[in-house]
Structure 1
């Protein structure tokens, strides 16, 4: 699917597409969330989408995705992980360590998880599995969702008239490469210690 087709879908189906793409990305269905948010900002800069409508739809999709994943984790997560975790190398020991760490750093993790690919999909489920308090989760998920959505859309808005929309896919590729480089560097530092 190319940029013109995505633009056409956005302009035809409106803000529901924004909500749906971000919801899917958060619950774990593959979607290029950051690139999509930047792209939305670029379309806002070109006056093809409304600023407030886009922010509202993106925020709603993100928050609803985080809440759905949290409640799925809360209702079925723990039995599921206990039964099938061994197939993806989740041992009792590393599961308990993850739970302890989340109980200690859950607020910060929930607030900032959206900025880390992969982590953003796992954190809501872990929050639910660990029984993280609903109101605390709602507060930090709301703040984190708002911060993430606004920063990326505004970033796209500011580059919207400077970079052609056709190059937005290259931004996503550059972000992916940057993420992989950071992971490799961290692993090397960890193994060299």
Structure 2
């Protein structure tokens, strides 16, 4: 089947539900390609397959609700939850990833939740880590709602407008837009993993360079 015919046959309700589900689960703390799902749905909207308004609304709701559930889980589980996840999923929740996310929270406070919407690693950690660090919920909610609206709504609008401008070109090479989205998500994940690995190396080097405390034996009587 030609890709155009397949895209045209996707039920709009299924697209809205998938966008909300994938972004919601990613925000909750499960490493899923939320950004790729959103960009793909916005490209469909540019072709008239789905409504850009409903894509944005579902993405915003998924982001806000998923982050709020993640916050509740993190508040109940605390840091031991991350340590347990780090042992089971070291590629996504390892000590270096957690340390990098914690530094972002120490630097930006509640705005780490807002900016975390635009960074692959923080998008997964923001909700649960805010809860584990006992951030007041009202602060978290403000940053969560603002981040969800700006990220999901802004991404949908931007991709939709670009898609409309290039509609004729995309109709012949629609798969290129999806490949670009996948490449962008992969590069973002690679970049954050690289930064996390460097942070881990620096942390290990600092620990190795730290002087070992000497224990003085008590004098004999």
TM-score bin (small chain):
0.7 to 0.9
1:75 equivalent in alignment to 2:76 = yes
Name 2:219's counterpart in structure 1.
none
- Give the number of aligned pairs: 185
Name the TM-score, length of structure 1 as normaliser: 0.77
Residue-by-residue CA offset, 1:138-184 (whole Å, 9 max, x unaligned): 01000001110012112221232423432233113331454335765
Q: Is the 8 A contact 2:15 2:41 kept in 1?
A: no
Gaps of 5+ in 2: 203-221
Q: Work out the CA distance in 2 between the residues paired with 1:85 and 1:182.
A: 18
1:107 equivalent in alignment to 2:116 = no
Q: Work out the CA distance in 1 between the residues paired with 2:32 and 2:82.
A: 24
Q: Is the 8 A contact 2:29 2:124 kept in 1?
A: yes
Structure 1 counterpart of 2:121, from 118, 121, 124: 118
Larger Rg computed on CA atoms: 2
Name 1:165's counterpart in structure 2.
174
**TM superposition shift of 1:30:** 3.7
Gaps of 5+ in 1: none
Name 1:39's counterpart in structure 2.
40
User: Higher relative contact order at CA 8 Å, sep ≥6: structure 1 or structure 2?
Assistant: 1
Residue-by-residue CA offset, 1:73-131 (whole Å, 9 max, x unaligned): 0011334346x37845649xx86x97576255222201110111121101211100010
Q: Work out the CA distance in 2 between the residues paired with 1:19 and 1:98.
A: 24
**TM superposition shift of 1:8:** 4.4
Name 1:175's counterpart in structure 2.
184
Name 2:212's counterpart in structure 1.
none
Name the TM-score, length of structure 2 as normaliser: 0.68
Deviates more, 1:149-158 or 1:56-65: 149-158
Q: Work out the CA distance in 1 between the residues paired with 2:3 and 2:64.
A: 26
Deviates more, 1:41-50 or 1:12-21: 12-21
Going from structure 1 to structure 2, the CA distance change for 1:112 and 1:8 (only over 3 Å counts) comes to: farther
Q: Work out the CA distance in 2 between the residues paired with 1:6 and 1:71.
A: 37
**TM superposition shift of 1:41:** 1.6
Name 1:139's counterpart in structure 2.
142
Going from structure 1 to structure 2, the CA distance change for 1:66 and 1:86 (only over 3 Å counts) comes to: closer
